[in-house]
Amino acid sequence: MINRTLDNRYTILERVGGGGMADVYRAHDTLLDRSVAVKVLRSQFTDDEEFVTRFRREAQAAARLSHPNIVNIYDVGRDGDAYYIIMEYISGETLKERIQREGPLPVETAVRIALEIAEALEHAHQNNLVHCDIKSHNILTTRAGRVKVTDFGIAKAVTAATMTQTSTIIGSVHYFSPEQAKGVAVSAKSDIYSLGVVLFEMLTGTVPFQGETPISIALKHLQEQPPMPRSLNPAIPPLVEAIVLQAMAKEPDQRFSDIGYMIADLKKAQNYLRDDQTRRISKDDFPTQVLPRVPHAEVYEEAEPAKKPVPVWKRGWFWTFLGLLILGFAFGAFLAFGKFWSLNEVVVPNVVGKQTESARTVLMNENLRVSVATEYSDKVPSGIVISQNPEAGSTVKEQRMITITVSKGTEVTVVPDLKGLNRRDAELQIKNAGLLLGRVDEVFATDVPADTVINQNPRSPAQINKGTTVDLVVSKGAGPRKIVLPDFRGTPLPTVTTQLESLKLSVGSVTEVPNTQYPAGTVTGQSPVPGSEVVEGSTIDLTVAKSASGATKRAVVQITVPEGAARQVVQIVLTDTNGRRVAYESAHKPGDRIEQSVEGVGQVKVQVYINGTLLQEQLL
């Protein structure tokens, strides 16, 4: 699937996860230029027409959900043999990964996460959608710490399609409700049970039931009571333990009547934990919070099923309240349009562009009432009237309500934290926050991968106006290696060229100049100078000695070794335009006669040394 583009829009970039039913990929939406998550059903489920129909219906239903704790679903489609769902891409980790990394979470954190999951489930249940697969693997946490519930829609379709195929149970057996383990119809209370398991896992660091096979774990959900959470983590307050045990009651009727009741108890626990930390209430207040739930949870085996509450619409006070509400609404609507019994009419003045209080004064002076609404505007300064209703010039009766819309100024947004993101993802986050990409500086950084954001301005979590630019500093990688330049003077040019190649340097310009100090063809100078630091790929300019012009002179040197030591070293040294060099060197005994031909260019000087002592010297 990698690099495949679905429906000419979603280009799949990398696999980021998956389960038994589908694989999840990160993709790029080429139309809206943003990162998205793509869930693609595995091929073994695409041939079941009933499953495909249920899958599409459930996915479309999930797409109608809109809640800050639910991963948004953008699109549902099919491309060839691939059935896919396009979802919001969350750059973070799963709750399961966090528990595996940290172990038991702090009680306050566990309650907060459970509360956010419950609020997401409440929104789904109100839209007649049951998740059916709540587990810590399906809970994502963003960089900002917000909880996101994913996998709505698919789990229910999978359960319906596979329960009749074999005698086995397919799914997340550690989080199953007893009714799911039986293979019977599930309800919103199944989600409550699974959420209780997730809360148990967050508080203790482990799931309540373990086994060697999925069937053995499913049987424990049916037959065994979970261990008391406080036996595994004594830091858990009784109130929180009571919530876990009631949510995990074997019989659905013994659980919370609906997720709203569980939310209420979680908020109560959250308030208790907060107050206990700050000592804003006394310990005597605690029993009034915990007693209604603890007995029911701790003796759940003997507890009677909860009585179903009488529907609100069957209570007498409801109809009385509804009647008064309708009368009050009608009376308020009547007043909103002014004194209809009055014959006085006024022309609505124009207050657009005026300060709020000035506009209010102008309207009230015309015996009109004023209602103020606000909205963001990047064109109208804060506190200035943008529009009015009814419009200026309209004729209305006295006391008519005039609604003026006042600018709140440019909308403010929080700067996202971009450090550590690759450049493309950082640009997408800037765009999604309603901000603009500013200057991008690239610098070498040895410890940061290339194309990764090192710094930003403004920094997160600053609050700035939408439309403001955000500057980035992006890594260019470790950069080229630095090299200390050797001294090449006196070395033949071919040898220097080979050395430069081995150092990943290159030869620049080569200039030949006459030189009497170095032999022809050897390097006499270099730029940069020896000992300088250069980077890989740099070019080195060289100066090379060339032979000086002039006639070649030849001569024969004759020497008789004088009396003295039995072994005497004879050297004939020649100095000419090309420099000084040894033309002959050997050991002789006294009385030996030596004849040696020499030649040089330009002014030639011949020197004879015996055991390092100058014996004779002549010019040719």
Residue 154 has pLDDT above 60, yes or no: no
What is the amino acid identity at position 425? D
Give yes or no: residues 138 and 216 share one domain.
Answer: yes
Residue 257 has pLDDT above 50, yes or no: yes
> Which CATH number characterizes residue 186's domain?
1.10.510.10
Which residue, 56, 88, 120, sits at the end of a domain?
A: 88
Residue carrying the six token digits 């031909």: 597
Give yes or no: residues 335 and 271 share one domain.
Answer: no
**How far, rounded to the nearest angstrom, does the alpha carbon of residue 452 sit from its chain's CA centroid?**
11
Tell me the mean pLDDT in the region 24-28. Answer: 91
> Which CATH number characterizes residue 506's domain?
3.30.10.20
Residue 303 has pLDDT above 50, yes or no: no
Residue 570 CA: distances (Å) to CA of 561, 562, 575, 598, 616 = 8, 11, 17, 15, 12
Secondary-structure breakdown of the chain: helix, strand, coil percentages, each rounded to the nearest 5? 30, 30, 40
373, part of any domain: no
Phi/psi of residue 499, nearest 5 degrees: -65, -40
372, part of any domain: no
Which are the catalytic amino acids?
133
Give yes or no: residues 111 and 240 share one domain.
Answer: yes
Instruction: Compute the distance between CA of residue 340 and CA of residue 19 in angstroms, rounded to an integer.
Output: 67
Give yes or no: residues 340 and 430 share one domain.
Answer: no
32, part of any domain: yes
pLDDT of residue 472: 95
Q: 333 pLDDT band (50/70/90 cuts)? A: low
Q: At what angle do helices 95-102 and 188-204 cross, to 10 degrees?
A: 20
Q: Could you write out the DSSP letters of every residue in 370-401?
A: EEEEEE--SSS-TTBEEEEESPTT-EEETT-E
Which residue, 407, 426, 457, sits at the end of a domain?
A: 407
Residue carrying the six token digits 């195929």: 165
pLDDT of residue 602: 74
Give yes or no: residues 117 and 237 share one domain.
Answer: yes
307, part of any domain: no
Give yes or no: residues 165 and 238 share one domain.
Answer: yes
Range of the domain at 598: 552-619
Instruction: Compute the distance between CA of residue 189 and CA of residue 587 in angstroms, rounded to an integer.
Output: 110
Give yes or no: residues 512 and 467 share one domain.
Answer: no
Q: How does pLDDT run across 223-242, given as a tens digit for each residue?
A: 889 999 999 999 999 999 99
H/E stretch holding 336:
helix 316-336
Instruction: Compute the distance between CA of residue 484 and CA of residue 538 in angstroms, rounded to an integer.
Output: 12
Closest CA relative to residue 48, chosen from 77, 25, 21: 21
Structural domain count, the chain: 6
Q: What is the pTM of this model?
A: 0.46
Contact yes or no for 555/598 (Cβ under 8 A): yes
310, part of any domain: no
Instruction: Compute the distance between CA of residue 188 and CA of residue 172 in angstroms, rounded to an integer.
Output: 17
Instruction: Compute the distance between CA of residue 156 and CA of residue 60 in angstroms, rounded to an integer.
Output: 13
305, part of any domain: no
Give yes or no: residues 67 and 113 share one domain.
Answer: no
Q: Exposed, middle or buried: residue 275 (CB in 10 Å: 0-12, 13-18, 19+)?
A: middle
- Kindly state the tokens that stand for 133: 């697969």
312, part of any domain: no
Tell me the mean pLDDT in the region 368-383. Answer: 88
Give yes or no: residues 274 and 155 share one domain.
Answer: yes
Give yes or no: residues 172 and 256 share one domain.
Answer: yes
Percent of the chain with pLDDT over 70: 85
Contact yes or no for 88/72 (Cβ under 8 A): yes
Give yes or no: residues 359 and 444 share one domain.
Answer: no
Query: What is the average pLDDT score of the chain?
Result: 83
> Which residues lie closer than 8 Å to 521 by C-beta, 6 or more apart?
492, 493, 544, 545, 546
Residue 335 has pLDDT above 60, yes or no: no
Which residue, 427, 454, 475, sits at the end of a domain?
A: 475
Q: How does pLDDT run across 116-132, given as a tens digit for each residue?
A: 999 999 998 988 888 88
- Kindly state the tokens that stand for 292: 């209604």
Give yes or no: residues 144 and 257 share one domain.
Answer: yes
Closest CA relative to residue 597, chosen from 558, 568, 571, 569: 558
